[in-house]
Structure 1
Amino acid sequence: MDKMLYLAMTGAKHVDLQQATTANNLSNAHTNAFKADLASFRALPVVGPGAPTRTYVVDNTIGHDMSQGSLMHTGSPSDFALGSPGFFAVQAADGSEAYTRDGGYVLDANGMMRTRSGLPITGDGGPITIPTGYQVQLGQDGSVVGVPQNGKDRTPQLLGQIKLVNPGAKEVYKGPDGLFRMNNGDTATADTNVKLVPETLEASNVNAVESLVQMISHGRQYDMNIKLMQNADQNDQKATQLLAMG
């Protein structure tokens, strides 16, 4: 009877965690370049003096859905997306190098290129800064070109190079801040095969309808496990009554 109770209890717990994951995905259905979290659970064999048992259930997280979201042309020179697998580099809040696909930039008071969430966009030499008086143009290779707006010389100048990387989905993990980092704690090598798409933004890859269906399914699974726990308790009470009668 204990096995039945524990299996239902751990099942309910982890279905609840799955529900939280799905709810987080759904809340980010309109977050640019958001990658849906994937989670599952599995039975865990518990080995003891007797035969193994599958009493407990544990999380079996399988990472993130790295498929590309739809590309939306905005016409804004400050918007950009990635047209292939990969990321561009930013400086995280702790100063480390991290990676994202959420394109678009703004210039702060010092001319530093930042994401719309405020993170510096970096190249191989660190954060990219735009001098005053230049109109910025982005190239497909991540080049940041500035066209002087003052004086007679309007020759474009290379002001920086956005670091584009493609370490592979299995080599990175997503942190609580939504940024990706290398599993080994190292920094990724620049990849010239990653291409930037100017004047475009990438949408979230979350399917809102599918996520809603998953939430309904998780709710039913949770209720089923709770009902199983109640049945286990009732069976235990009846067994106790029968033993007392004997």
Structure 2
Amino acid sequence: MNIGLHTGAYRLYSLERYQQVLATNLANLTTPGYRPETFVVEGKALEADMGANAPQALLPMHTLTRITEGPSPMRATGSPYDFALEDGSFFAVQDGGGKTLYTRDGEFHINADGFLVNKFGYKVLGDGGPLEIPPDGAVFSVSRDGAITVNDELVGKLRVTDFKNPDALLVQGGGFFSDASGQAGAFPVEYPSVVQGSLAGSQVQPMQEMVGLIDAARSYELIQKLIEEGDQRAQQAIRTFSE
């Protein structure tokens, strides 16, 4: 068994995944409320894959975690339909197929049918389902606990959700997440911190992500070269001993 080729292949796979994570973070640089993923690499004994008689070596195994701590930068917009969450919780929306998705992007508006929706047209969910708002022209206000009032009359409350295991959320793209299996452990936030007229900024640090991409690309090239050199040495050894 060629240990160099085996461990090199694992390293290349981990670097490819790392580059994907960095690219996704950068793509969401301007997504309101976006919290980036972090990439952690740990060594796993080769025998875990190859059995107890495998040569002693460590394989690089990666895990992904999502940043859930720390405040997001706030940007005041002045729009009564823009909302930010000061903690790590999520808004709940319903896509066109009726699927519940979670997002920290609180850039909403009222559609032609009178529902509060996001930029994709997904209906924003309240405690009792999609939030239907009385016609424009009324005084629209949202308190810090998510209660929505129109002309001082309560018409609904934003469903603000948090998760016991946010790393189990499935990324859906566009800053959305799903928890169809329930593994993330969704629960309603009893005392949410909703800020009306503002949007939470992305927590992505562009320079940090760019440096990571450069380092990953250089490491990828180096490992490719080492694998090629190892393969050439193996072929030379085969030719030498076969003569």
Q: What's the TM-score bracket when you normalise by the shorter of the two chains?
A: 0.7 to 0.9
TM-score of the superposed pair, with normalisation by structure 2: 0.87
Moved over 6 A (4+): none
The separation in 2 between residues aligned to 1:64 and 1:172, in whole angstroms, is: 9
Quote the Cα distance in structure 2 between the aligned partners of 1:31 and 1:48. Answer: 45
Range with bigger deviation, 223-232 or 9-18: 9-18
C-alpha distance in 2 between matches for 1:57 and 1:202: 35
- Distance in 1 of aligned mates of 2:183 and 2:154: 31
Aligned to 1:150: none
> For 1:116-157, what per-residue CA distance to the aligned partner results, in whole angstroms no more than 9, with x for missing partners?
22211111210000122523111111011112xxxxxxxx21
Check 1:171–1:43 CA distance in 2 against 1; reply closer, same or farther (3 A cut).
closer
Q: What pairs up with 1:44-59 in 2 under 5 angstroms?
A: 44=44, 45=46, 46-48=49-51, 50-51=53-54, 53-54=56-57, 57-58=60-61
Distance verdict in 2 for CA 1:36–1:193, change over 3 Å: same
Q: CA-atom RMSD, angstroms?
A: 2.3
Q: 2:169 aligned with 1:173, yes or no?
A: yes
User: Partner residue of 2:140?
Assistant: 136
**Equivalent in the alignment of 2:14:** 14
1:108 to 107, 111, 132: 111
**Number of equivalenced pairs:** 236
Residue 185 of structure 1 and its aligned partner are, at CA, apart by: 5.9
Q: 1:38 to 1:70 in 2, by over 3 A?
A: same
Task: Report the CA distance between 1:23 and its aligned residue.
Answer: 1.2
Supply the distance in 2 between the matched residues of 1:222 and 1:186 (Cα, whole angstroms).
33
Equivalent residues of 1:79, 1:199 under 8 A apart:
yes
Partner in structure 2 of residue 26 of structure 1: 26
Task: Check conservation: 1:166, 1:194, Cα contact below 8 A.
Answer: no
Structure 2 CA distance for aligned equivalents of residues 187 and 233 of structure 1: 47
Larger deviation, residues 190-199 vs 204-213 = 190-199
1:66 aligns with 2:80: no
**Structure with greater Cα Rg:** 1
SS of 1:176's equivalent in the other structure is strand
- Percent identity (aligned): 26
TM-score normalised according to structure 1 size: 0.86
CA contact (8 A) 2:34 2:201 kept: yes
Superposition deviation, residue 61 in structure 1: 2.4
Aligned in 2, Cα 1:27/1:71: closer, same or farther, shift over 3 Å? same
User: Structure 1 stretches of 5 or more lacking a match?
Assistant: 148-155
* CA 1:211–1:75: 2 relative to 1, 3 Å: same
